[in-house]
Structure 1
């Protein structure tokens, strides 16, 4: 059996050394170090998008959680449908739909930054809503009754009694959700937002060295994520360990 080489020559396949590929991959670390400033520029966008989406998602999630716990059956169903919609579909599909399909429906274009932050915020808000609801419901109902008996309104009971205690129980899962969102932010590269992964993919295509560039990007994600994981573990031991 003869194999065709790129140069047009032919060679006998039986003469190939056993256990070795025709081409060997050699690492070129220099391509990473020489282009590191370009790669690192994406970190600022990644961090900014993650924090903006988390902040917006935290507000929306709290609103949805309150609707979910409302006495009105219709509001409960509406909030439940919202949570199921965003939790049961992949973030990748949501990004494509918001960036490409939604502008067609509303008649207005959307920048990659706005589409990325909005989609990530709505996505994480569904998870945060359930975290909020679980944290609030974990507070003994007797404390709410005690607050009401002292003349507080339901809103005052929530702000002064329930939330201060529930927050400490919410922090660890909220931290874990932030880490997940930080890593999932790589998906916004699909809509051309120049964050870390987009920079890495562009650089890999330009240098034709995807192995080194994407490995460097993975290492950067790990370096940025590990301190977050340490903090979340501390919060878990501090507030949830019994």
Structure 2
């Protein structure tokens, strides 16, 4: 009996030295809804991620330039389509008794940094409430995020420093979308807001930026404070740890 017990303990020790857990791999991201200027329709959605689907870290490729950040592959599944958000412009769907139906009846009004956020309704996690799920009309693409310091930004009358965020589709020189982040309106670390993707995600900086649009006939860029980019969800995906032989 004593021999059997000793053998069992020894087997356990020997086995534990050969079976080691692999470290779990995780990637995080924020999904955003880009609003139309009617402040009701969601015209596109995409995710900003810190790692690729193969769990490869996305690092700044412009390390030697503190005023420029290039994050290739940080934009994931950019899709055009349509959804309607819960807002004061389009409050939702009512039943035959005039009662507002879910989800819009459970939300809370948005708050600054941009005053136009106050027309939208968000859940307790701060995520935009949609009347119905986003319906994509195009196949999504993965793209790149550029962040650049713009001193004395002419779009702000040449009086403020901003960070320009741009989304690029691979192989194209024209940005799919452009935003401006007003540094004077926020208490943030400028260097990290340009060169640190984890910081951009954590502080949810894209939803604090203002979209830049252009309109005929001159197609000059202009700030569009009504075309918000709003946080739809945060996610964390990973590969759970597995036991394997070393």
TM range (shorter): under 0.3
Provide TM-score, normalisation by structure 2: 0.21
Provide TM-score, normalisation by structure 1: 0.21
Which protein is richer in strand relative to its size? 2
Larger Rg: 1
